Structure 1
Amino acid sequence: MDGTTLYAVDGGIARITLNRPGARNALNDQMIGELLDALDRAKHDDGVRVIVLTGAGDRAFCAGADLDGLGRDGMGVNDVRDSAPFRLFTAFPALGKPIIARLAGHAVAGGLGLAAACDLVIAADDVKLATPEVNVGLWPMMIMAIINRNVAPKHAFKLYYTGSRITAAEGREIGLVTEVVPRADLDARVDELAGVIASKSPLGLRRGRDAFFAIEGRPLEDQVAYLLSELVELAGTEDAKEGITAFLENRPPDFRGR
């Protein structure tokens, strides 16, 4: 895949790269379309077990919407559910596969929302994060739905009210970042983590990840009932039986995704 988004698969890991470094990997219509295609491609490729999302270069992971190159799709359409930004941010829960954000550059505005939409975020220690929309009279309306799932209200309001940049370490403290590593160690740590996850049962990962999102907002009793039924079904799969057998035989499991 060429253009504003690059796609490559190696060892069960799909790497999706936002490829507009000259524009700080800002999202325009073309990039959103290509990114949606890449995510869908990884979702339906049985050979892909983990997805890594990153930005080209070290300047920015993603600077959010390209105000010059992004159309008014999502602002003037009759149904915002038809808009590209809506389809992009709602695609992540339905991926069925773990996704890791690799931050070698700053993540601001919609770019921070894009990173927060990933399951795990690994950031270089000199990366900065921000929601600067308030500085131009706007508000991080859409990405607030993503960030609020990761950050407590008092921390979220500080981001939204001030528009100030915070460090990756501060992002980790408030729940936006999973790990912060020295820049020189970023690729090795992302590869290590992706490799560990890729070694697990793809069926177990998918069913567990889907359940994580499915129970959101449900009463406790409904959550427990749903999760118990999912556990019973998962325990009957070939992968679960292989995993238990391998544990008892003290050997690595051979997961087949069945």
Structure 2
Amino acid sequence: MAYKYILYDIEDGVAKLTLNIPEKMNRLSNETMKEVVAALKEAKDDDSVRVVVMAAAGDQAFCAGANLADFKGLSPVESRKVFSAFADLSRIFIDLGKPSIAAVNGLALAGGFGLALYPDITIASENAKFGLPEINVGVWSCMVSASLPKLVGRRKALELLMTGDMIDAKEAERIGLINKVVPHDKLEETVMNLAKKISKKSPVVMSLGRDSYYTMLDMEYDKAITYLLEILAIIVSTEDCQEGVTAFTEKRKPVWKGK
């Protein structure tokens, strides 16, 4: 599929999606969000893709969110239709079935803040900044608030949501918003090395394990343990798990079949 607002490339099992409108600070128009969702679905359905990387062109902004002027004068029905694209974007990363990594450089604001958090792992350059400034113009960060407390806790999440203050990459790492801060010139290298490292794991075990992790997050402890016991039984019965155990005993690298 040809894309207008993003770049989509696959190399060595890693699909890289790059927001490619730096002159507009990689803002999320409805068309851009639809392209991102479409590309993620393409990656999901492609068995050659083991890991997905979400990146952005330019140094100024990873993504500055949506253009608020687009929301002016919308009725509730029209608003719901427009904002459904944000909901789709937040869901698709969970439903991806494959590991995902965000490479964040520059500003990650509002919807761009969410786009930086939705992937499984987030690596940021030292000049990245994160914020939810839409509260300053009378908009609440509804989509982001679904996942933010799980990362930083209720109190810190509410502080970010209520104040609209920006935080730098070091503070984002400190509070658990992101995984790691790296020098600006090492961001792409760090992210791609991590993606390639993860891509070498069994794809079927990675998918089962990752999906089970998200499924059990909101379960009661006993229900989670019961559920995970079933998943573990399935994982151990896969060809890849048996190959991994055999390779370990034979002191060789496993050859994954994805089964």
Q: TM-score, normalised by structure 2?
A: 0.94
Runs of 5+ in structure 2 lacking a partner? none
Matched, 1:184 2:149: no
Query: Partner of 2:196: helix, strand, or coil?
Result: helix
Q: Per-residue CA shift, 1:14-66, capped at 9, x if unaligned?
A: 00011111111110011011111100000000000000001111111111112
Query: Partner of 1:123: helix, strand, or coil?
Result: strand
The answer for the alignment partner of 1:125 in structure 2 is: 126
**Per residue, is there more helix in 1 or in 2?**
2
Q: Per-residue CA shift, 1:194-242, capped at 9, x if unaligned?
A: 0110000010110011101111221111110110011011101110011
Aligned residue identity for 2:240: D
Q: What is the CA-CA distance between 1:108 and the residue it aligns to? A: 0.8
Q: What is the CA-CA distance between 1:164 and the residue it aligns to? A: 1.3
The answer for the alignment partner of 2:200 in structure 1 is: 199
CA distance in 2, matches of 1:239, 1:24: 43
Aligned residue identity for 2:146: A
Given that 1:74 and 1:83 are in contact with CA atoms closer than 8 Å, whether structure 2 keeps it comes out as no
The answer for the alignment partner of 1:137 in structure 2 is: 138
Given that 1:204 and 1:234 are in contact with CA atoms closer than 8 Å, whether structure 2 keeps it comes out as yes
Given that 2:55 and 2:104 are in contact with CA atoms closer than 8 Å, whether structure 1 keeps it comes out as yes
Given that 1:77 and 1:83 are in contact with CA atoms closer than 8 Å, whether structure 2 keeps it comes out as no
Aligned residue identity for 1:178: N
Aligned residue identity for 2:253: P
CA distance in 2, matches of 1:70, 1:253: 52
Q: What is the CA-CA distance between 1:8 and the residue it aligns to? A: 0.6
Q: Per-residue CA shift, 1:129-148, capped at 9, x if unaligned?
A: 11111211222122111212
Matched, 1:250 2:251: yes
CA distance in 2, matches of 1:255, 1:193: 19
CA distance in 1, matches of 2:139, 2:60: 24
The answer for the alignment partner of 1:84 in structure 2 is: 85
CA distance in 2, matches of 1:80, 1:2: 22
CA distance in 2, matches of 1:74, 1:99: 35
Query: Partner of 1:150: helix, strand, or coil?
Result: helix
The answer for the alignment partner of 2:11 in structure 1 is: 10
CA distance in 1, matches of 2:257, 2:75: 40
Aligned residue identity for 2:215: A
Q: What is the CA-CA distance between 1:83 and the residue it aligns to? A: 2.0
CA distance in 2, matches of 1:115, 1:125: 15
The farther-off stretch of 160-169 and 33-42 is 160-169
Q: What is the CA-CA distance between 1:67 and the residue it aligns to? A: 2.3
Aligned residue identity for 2:230: S
* Shift in CA distance, 57/84, structure 1 to aligned 2, threshold 3 Å: same
Q: Per-residue CA shift, 1:154-211, capped at 9, x if unaligned?
A: 2112212221111111001111110100111111111110011000001011001110
Runs of 5+ in structure 1 lacking a partner? none
Number of equivalences: 258
* Shift in CA distance, 222/89, structure 1 to aligned 2, threshold 3 Å: same
* Shift in CA distance, 70/30, structure 1 to aligned 2, threshold 3 Å: farther
